[in-house]
Chains A and B, each alone.
Chain A
Amino acid sequence: MDRAIIVDHLVKNFEVIQKEPGLTGAVKSLFSPTKKQVHALRGVSFSIQTGELVGFIGPNGAGKTTTLKTLSGLLYPTSGFVSVMEYDPWERKPEFLKQIALVMGQKNQLWWDLPAIETFELNRAIYELNTREYEDNLKELVELLEIGKLINIPVRKLSLGQRMRMELTAALLHKPKVLFLDEPTIGLDLVAQQKMRDFIYEYNRKYQATIILTSHNMDDLVDLARRVIVVDEGKILFDGALEELVEKFAKEKIIKATLAKSDGIVDLEKIGKVRKLAFPEVVISVPRNAIAVAAAELLQNFAVDDLTIEEIPIEDVIRKVFKGGIFGK
């Protein structure tokens, strides 16, 4: 068992000072601040093997970014245990930092007024790469991300997507073994998104890199993550294979039928929720435990040419996860 990342009962609270509106409120909060605890993570536990690529999903404010920041040593855990390649991230030992990277869409390490190549050069020195390593890695990243023409242009003149690619290059020059990607495809066009996904896939495969990826982008997960961890309100709700997610959370199954006659078509409502009705095709969703009965009823009461029973598409389940509707709330 080679576990790259271990997280055990991780808790992170943020203390925030509550402000009342207006000037009097501001003055009041200065002298007698009302403090409030935000429970961003409430006892999160999981572990990840070396070389795994795991998707971290959940609605806004679930605690995904907080987890990644704690894993990369930016946040001091309120309580619980965290280890990344046997290091305590909080100590931020240089040997640890040289093996990880955290890529967040908005925060960037690029020097805004200078061409990206200057930041790359700086990182070469900071990560103490030798010329050979640096040149090889840079060449490879430049080719993979197709940024050859852009590295000599001041960063502020680049588009969002171009900047994201520069950001990624800067973050990966030192070939990190563990990669934390916080919404890496946000703001990219469809072609660029696909390129980014291909790149992440390749990087994971080629270097046996351990990757945690958060995303609100369905395709990222379906394409990349075999395993997903679902978080909501600072707790883990699910941890397992993407396919199992459907079995676990889809409370319904789907009957697809082709009808021979349109007689009594309004009565379909009695069998289940009609999702689509475009004669002769009908799609009905039915609670999992009632599926056999529903299928039998359908066959009995309607003239059916063809019938299949299917799982709800994975996309629908994930969409529900994104919306925070996984509790059935």
Chain B
Amino acid sequence: MNKYFQIFKISFQEEFTYKINFVMWRVRNVFQIIVTYYLWDTIFSAPGREVFGYDRAKIMTYIFTLIIVRSIVLSARAVDVSSDVAEGNLSNYLIRPMSYFKYWFTRDIASKVLNLFFAAGEFAILFVILKPPFFFQTNIYVFLSFLMAIVLAILIYFSLLFIISAVPFWAPELGWGSQFLVIIVMLEFLSGAVFPIDILPGVYQKIVMSLPFPYMIFFPVQVYLGKITGMSLIQGFVISIAWAVALYLAMRYVWSRGLKEYQAFGR
């Protein structure tokens, strides 16, 4: 256990040496939020306007909950894994007695803690400036459900990232492209990070909700807001647990195959 605590510590230290990078990444996040905010603000500029069952207050609540959920779920250092594989840096980890998965999971956690800390600060500032409507969840059961949804979201994202990062085992030059496709396109649009999934027409909504993506952002947010309760809450958990398990197993499988292909590039 001490192993992974050390990794946590050193990751934290390293994040601080990349001060500029880190700040830029946070600035990017803030801009993203502001852009989204004004986009929706314009759409709802007419008083009393409702779009897809959302009025201004509801959508703003959604967006502000998003900030926190995003910074917990989507900040991950494991995006570097695919270049480790492609460039042969993976060798440095394989040669030492530790689990590569646990190593990156630990680094992810360190990154999430740090990002959450900053996101909370940004949240407070934006809250004061923009004065959006926000909903503070006080029901302890709902809050616990939310925490569970977050844990599942983290696991799903981690496995997904690792599966995509395994592509360079077979095609070293495809690493970046596949990551772009899955992470930027699929994740942003299908997870609910740009718009809430329930504005989609019924059929599409059903399709999207059976994919793993909305369980990374949309589902936890809705659980927090108390929008998903009872049977649909249980159904949501069943699907996201099923995805978490399936993706975890897929990740183990893909990696055990991939490591046999691994070429340990470099001298």
Binding site for B on A (CB under 8 A): 14, 17, 65, 69, 72-76, 92, 94, 97-98, 100-102, 104-109, 111, 113-114, 118-119, 121-128, 154, 182-183
Contact = CB atoms under 8 A, between A and B. Distances in A.
Contact of B97 (A14, A94, A154): A94
Contacts of B260: 76
A74 B267 contact: no
Interface string B240-267: 0000000000000000000111111011
Contact of A121 (B6, B18, B91, B94): B6
A100 B94 CA distance: 12
B11 to A, nearest CB: 9
Contact of B262 (A76, A118, A119): A76
19 contacts: A17-B171, A69-B91, A74-B94, A74-B95, A74-B262, A76-B262, A97-B95, A102-B91, A102-B95, A107-B92, A108-B92, A109-B92, A113-B17, A118-B10, A119-B10, A121-B6, A123-B96, A126-B3, A126-B96
Contacts of A183: 267
Contacts of B14: 111, 113-114
A19 to B, nearest CB: 9
Given A75-B262, A109-B96, A118-B13, 18 more contacts: A69-B264, A74-B94, A74-B95, A74-B264, A76-B259, A76-B262, A101-B95, A102-B95, A104-B267, A105-B267, A111-B10, A111-B14, A114-B13, A118-B10, A119-B10, A123-B96, A126-B3, A126-B96
B53 to A, nearest CB: 44
B96 A97 contact: yes
A212 to B, nearest CB: 15
B94 A92 contact: yes
Nearest to A123: B96
A102 B264 CA distance: 13
Interface string B79-92: 00000000011011
Contact of B3 (A69, A100, A113, A125): A125
Nearest to B259: A76
A10 B216 CA distance: 46
Contacts of B98: 126
Contacts of A121: 6, 10
A113 B16 CA distance: 10
Nearest to A121: B6
A263 B15 CA distance: 80
Interface string B1-39: 011011100100110011000000000000000000000
A100 to B, nearest CB: 8
Given A65-B267, A74-B95, A114 B262 contact: no
Nearest to A103: B95
Contacts of B95: 72-74, 97, 100-102, 109
B266 A107 contact: yes
Contacts of A114: 10, 13-14, 17
A113 B92 contact: no
Contacts of B259: 76
Contacts of B17: 113-114, 154
Given A92-B94, A98-B97, A113-B18, A122 B262 contact: no
Contact of A126 (B6, B171, B266): B6
Contacts of A74: 91, 94-95, 262, 264
Which interface residue of A72, A105, A122 has the most chain B CB atoms within 10 A?
A122
A33 B95 CA distance: 32
B245 to A, nearest CB: 25
Contacts of A126: 3, 6, 96-98
A106 B94 contact: no
A125 B2 CA distance: 6
B106 to A, nearest CB: 11
Contacts of B171: 17
A122 B267 contact: no
A107 B94 contact: no
Contacts of B2: 125, 128
Contacts of A105: 267
Nearest to B6: A125
Nearest to A118: B10
B205 to A, nearest CB: 34
Nearest to B96: A126
B261 to A, nearest CB: 8
Contacts of A100: 95
B10 A107 contact: no
